[in-house]
Amino acid sequence: MSGAVDIGYGQLALALGFVLLAGGASLWLKLGLGRELLVGTLRTVGQLALMGYILVYIFAINQAWLVLLLFAGMIFFAARIVAGRVRGKGVPVFWPVFISMLLSYMVVSFLVTGVVVRAAPWWDPRYFLPLGGMVVGNSMNAMALSLERLFGEVSNRRDEVELLLSLGAEPREATAAINAEAIRAGMIPSINSMMGVGLVFIPGMMTGQILAGADPLLAIKYQIVVMLMLVGSTTLGSVVAVGLARRRLFTEAQQLRPASPKAA
């Protein structure tokens, strides 16, 4: 099988028609999404073009420290995005998110590339960065959902939590049910994806490999690994992030912090 068909710059320009279609719909229906579509398109093109040149440079140098530095940078920006989505909850979440992402995603990415795929070396950028990037991109949405559920449930059930605390329960006990609900909310999307993969949709990695000329059966093996690693990464990331953020909901005196409209 030959490689993927090349796409010229003129063909890329034609693809902008899809965004123009969305923009037209926004104007017609008065959705007010014109600015967001423009910014999103510019960021998509700019960020992907920049990443392409960075990957060419990293592939050429092929040094472990540079690969891991880029991966840590990807995690840093993912943590900023997640923290921005859960602002206004009165609890600083950037560091809990960043730490949980760094620990869980590094572990999962190492296990996938070094143990399952058995890339040599395990940090080979052609394997580690694409697979690790999938972990970051898919799992950060799960983490945002988990934190949103955590803060939302604490706000809605504040009286219940304070009652349990007044009866002598520890913060961990008073929020045990909320903690479980938050983690469950983050895990459900990846579980739903497992239910529909192969029947409802063909995932991105499998599609890319097939377009590049890989054996479909080999592409399926890689996709199975990806789907399973996403379940593990979303679970680990959500558990650690929710656990760290939950601690920040309470004072040193084990009292629930007052609600605040500002987020750090």
**Would you state the pLDDT for residue 177?**
92
Cα dihedral 213/219/222/226 (nearest 10): 100
pLDDT for the residue numbered 263:
42
- What is the per-residue pLDDT for 89? 57
pLDDT given for residue 64 in this prediction: 92
* Residue 61: pLDDT over 50: yes
Please name which of 146, 147, 154, 156 lies closest in space to residue 175, comparing C-alpha atoms: 154
Highest mean predicted confidence (pLDDT) among 6-15, 145-154, 191-200 = 145-154
Q: What percent of the chain has pLDDT over 90?
A: 31
Res 96: pLDDT: 84
pLDDT in the model for residue 253: 81
* DSSP-derived secondary structure for 31-89: ---HHHHHHHHHHHHHHHHHHHHHHHHHHHH--HHHHHHHHHHHHHHHHHHHHHHTTTS
Interval 166-186: pLDDT, tens: 888 898 999 999 999 999 998
Please write the tens of the pLDDT for every residue from 108-165.
999 999 999 999 899 999 899 988 888 888 888 888 899 999 998 998 999 999 999 8
pLDDT tens figures, 18-54:
999 999 998 998 888 889 999 999 999 998 889 888 8
Instruction: Specify burial of residue 184 (Cβ count, 10 A radius: 0-12, 13-18, 19+).
Output: middle
Question: What is the per-residue pLDDT for 223?
Answer: 86
Quick one: pLDDT band at residue 252, thresholds 50, 70, 90?
A: confident
